[in-house]
Amino acid sequence: MATLETTFAGLKLKNPVIVSSSGLTDSAAKNCKLAEAGAGAIVLKSLFEEQILMEIDHMDDPNFSPEGSEYLSAYVRQHKLEEYLNVIRESKKVCQIPVIASINCYDDSQWIDFARQIEAAGADALEINILALQTEVGYTYGEFEQRHIDILRHVRNTVKLPVIMKLGDNLTNPVALISQLYANGAAAVVLFNRFYQPDIDIEKLAQSAGPVLSNEADLCKSLRWTGIASAAVSGIDYAVSGGVHSPEAVVKAILAGASAVEVCSAIYRQTPAVIGQFNSFLSEWMDRKGMESIAQFKGMLNQKELKGVNTFQRTQFLKYFATFE
C-alpha cells in the first residue's frame, strides 16, 4: 500500500494536497471542514498590506493631528493583525494538520513585527506573497527580485518557523531568484501566485474584472518552471499552484519535482470532496505504478532526468509545433 506522506517546508504532511490561501480558509470552522475532507495542510487567507493601508486611509481625517493619525494607523494595523492571529489560534485548536499563515506585501516596513506575532500565535509556517507588477519607466532591473530577498532576510532574522515564498510568474529568471531565496533561508517556494485578471466591457466602455478562478491550462507554466528549478536548485521544496483541477495534475506536479500542490479553484468549482478524490487517485496511481512513496517518483521527470532532451525550454519548439503545419 502506497503512503501519501510528504515533506514540504520542513513540515510533515499526510498527503501533498494543500488548500491555498483564499476565502476558503478565512475561519477556523471552514478550516476544520477542509481538514476533515482530507487536506494535507491549509494556508490561511492572506493578511494584505494594501488592505490595511486602504482602511487606514479611509478612516483618516485631515483634521487629525499628526499624533492622532499615527495612533489611528497603529490601532488599525494591530486590530487587523489581532483578528488574523485569532484565526490562527482557533484553527490550531480544531485542525490536526499544519496551519500555514500568509501575508501579502510589497515592502518590509510592517512584516517583521507581524511575523513575530504570527509565530507566537502558533502558525506552523509562514507563506509570503510579494505580488506586484513592475511598470515604472525608471525601473531598475533586478529591483523587484531584490525586494523578495530583503523581505525574506528580515523575516528570517526575526522568526524560526519555516518561511515559504510564493512567487508571481512575472519574473525574468525564477531559477536565479529561487537560488538566492534558498541561500537566504527560504524553506520552500510556490509556483505561481495568481494575478488579478483584467477585462474590458465593450458595451459599457469600461474596465471590468476577468476570470477569478484558474483553469487547467494554467498548470503548464507551473510544471515548466518547477521542472527546471527543482533540477537546478534541489535543496529547497516546491509546490505547484495554479491549474491543479484534476487528480492527474497532482501526479504531474510531483513528477516535475514538487513536494505538494496548492489547490483553490478546483474546490470552489466542486466542493472540498475533491480533495479526497485527488488523494484516492494518487494512491491508486502509485499502487498501479509500483510506487511506495512520494519521494520515489518526485522529480522523476524534471529537467535533469531527460538525458539531454530539454522539453521544458524552447529547444523543443520546432519538434512540437511542426505537426501543426
State the CATH number of the domain containing residue 260.
3.20.20.70
**Per the domain annotation, does 92 fall within a domain?**
yes
Q: Cβ(106)–Cβ(147) under 8 Å?
A: yes
Q: How far apart are CA 110 and CA 6, in angstroms?
A: 33
Cell of 169: 510568474
**Per the domain annotation, does 34 fall within a domain?**
yes
The pLDDT value given to residue 64: 47
Range of the domain at 269: 6-324
Q: Give the residue from 3, 7, 1, 41 showing the smallest Cα distance to 21.
A: 41
β-pairing, 41-43 vs 47-48, is unpaired
| Most distant pair of Cα atoms in the chain: their distance | 71
The pLDDT value given to residue 186: 98
Q: How far apart are CA 317 and CA 304, in angstroms?
A: 19
Cell of 134: 513592475
CA torsion through residues 78, 83, 88, 89, sign:
positive
The pLDDT value given to residue 306: 47
Q: Cβ(15)–Cβ(279) under 8 Å?
A: yes
Could you list the pLDDT tens digit for every one of the 325 residues in the chain?
A: 789 999 999 999 999 999 999 999 999 999 999 999 999 999 999 987 655 655 545 554 455 445 545 545 554 566 678 999 999 999 999 999 999 999 987 666 667 778 999 999 999 999 999 877 777 888 788 988 999 999 999 999 999 999 999 999 989 899 999 999 999 999 999 999 987 788 999 999 999 988 888 889 899 999 999 999 999 999 999 999 999 999 999 999 999 999 999 999 999 999 999 999 999 999 999 999 999 999 999 999 998 644 555 666 654 554 555 555 5
**Per the domain annotation, does 1 fall within a domain?**
no
**Per the domain annotation, does 55 fall within a domain?**
yes
Domain count, the chain: 1
